[in-house]
Copies of this chain bind each other. A is one copy, B any other.
Amino acid sequence: MIKKIYVNGKDEVEFFKQLEERSGETDKKVSAVVNEIIDTVRKGGDAAVKAYTEKFDGKLPEYYEVPRDVINDALTEADPDFVNALLNSIENITDFHNRQKSRSFVNTKADGCILGQKVRGLDKVGLYVPGGTAAYPSSVLMNAIPAKIAGVKEIIMVTPPLKDGTPNKDILVAAGLCGVDRVFMSGGAQAIAALAYGTEEIPKVDKIVGPGNIYVATAKKLLYGVVDIDMVAGPSEILVMADETADPKFVAADLMSQAEHDKLASSILVTTSEKLADATIAEVERQMAYLERKDIIKYSLENYGAIIICNTKDEAVDMANRCAPEHLEVLFENPLEYVGRLDNAGSIFLGQYASEPLGDYYAGPNHVLPTSGTARFFSPLGVNSFEKRSSFIYYTEEALRQAKDDIVLVAEKEGLTAHANAIKVRFE
């Protein structure tokens, strides 16, 4: 069911090309609907947000803003093992992301001039958390922790209510543990619009992060520029590089852990061993039988999965760099030797025990990663995603006098005589 492709310079290129076409254009009908929601919320504020919530979610939630004591109660009433698991994750995520913090710098020159760059956290950040089965506490951790480390002053979460109008308790627990400042029960494009423009109650933010359905994603894309956004996420993928030393049981399980996300997800094994390829196929069949989301897994593997059999490990490296996968597993002997050659990947998992879910939940690096081949130029979410920079320049009269002729000459070459004038008037 998962197809085998033999590297011949044609079939594998064709397969990667097909993958690229998964993403597709923004749907015009969705854009029209979302544009209208944005306009209505911009003008109508909270009343408009609530009207949409009632329309799309069936009823108004228990509260618009979740009271602090409801969050605290969720924390004290939660399963201690769950809280403990999240606390262990938080410790690892915090340790890793602390190492990403940028520093301001300054160059104080001997002639009295001062040149520098200051780095600060954004003021306010909006965090979208989807409802239903896609409400992931781990996603709260991965977005809120780097924001906090960057120095963001206020994190405002928006999330749709459960069917009974109450908030999802697991999400509240994660929000409470990560120091999310305020939680509003509102989802969809209307919540994104509220964060972008601000309403009477929901603060206007500087950046919106977090996953969402097509309406949420389209709203973020349309409002990019009014606010910053994390990324335009497309279908996700895993590429596993494995040689004959890899365990097919592990390979099959990891391919399927990606495939269960979404019918459009892509799981690819690139291997130098035909024996491993066949054993992996058998393991996929065996394990899939007992997995809950087997329908999604089957569809995804049949349509966007592949086992690519290549002749050398160099070919496998080339293929990984060409694919630029979100997740890249290296199940080669001596996996660390390959890090320096893997140029395009969101996150790289090295060795038999660095299974992809380890990165999703626990190890520390972020799980919000560039998808659909965009690891060629985009990077994982991180502390720097929540930082802003300003440069600053202090100059002395004498230093400007030294620079004057150069500046005036280039400004006049460019036809910008008012630029030249601004320097000249200082020495008239």
Contacts and interface: CB of A to CB of B under 8 A. Distances in A.
A244 interface: no
Given A115-B363, A377-B388, A394-B350, A291 B400 contact: no
Given A259-B418, A419-B260, A89 B406 contact: yes
Interface in A102-156: 102, 105, 107, 113-115, 117-118, 120, 122-123, 133, 136-138
A377 B413 contact: no
Nearest to A96: B115
A109 to B, nearest CB: 10
A340 to B, nearest CB: 8
Interface string A344-358: 111111111111111
Nearest to A350: B394
A254 B296 CA distance: 61
A419 B257 contact: yes
A18 interface: no
A89 B217 CA distance: 42
Interface residues of chain A: helix, strand, loop or mixed (majority):
mixed
Nearest to A382: B389
Nearest to A86: B410
A236 interface: no
Contacts of A414: 136-138
How many copies of this kind of chain does the complex include? 2
Contacts of A117: 99-100, 365, 382
Interface residues of A, number: 121
B376 A421 contact: no
B393 A358 contact: yes
A16 interface: no
Contacts of A212: none
Interface of A: 23, 81-82, 84-86, 88-89, 95-96, 99-100, 102, 105, 107, 113-115, 117-118, 120, 122-123, 133, 136-138, 170, 206-207, 224-225, 227-228, 232, 234, 249-250, 253-254, 256-257, 259-261, 287, 291-293, 297, 335-336, 339, 342-366, 374-380, 382, 384, 387-397, 399-400, 403, 405-407, 409-411, 413-423, 425-426, 428
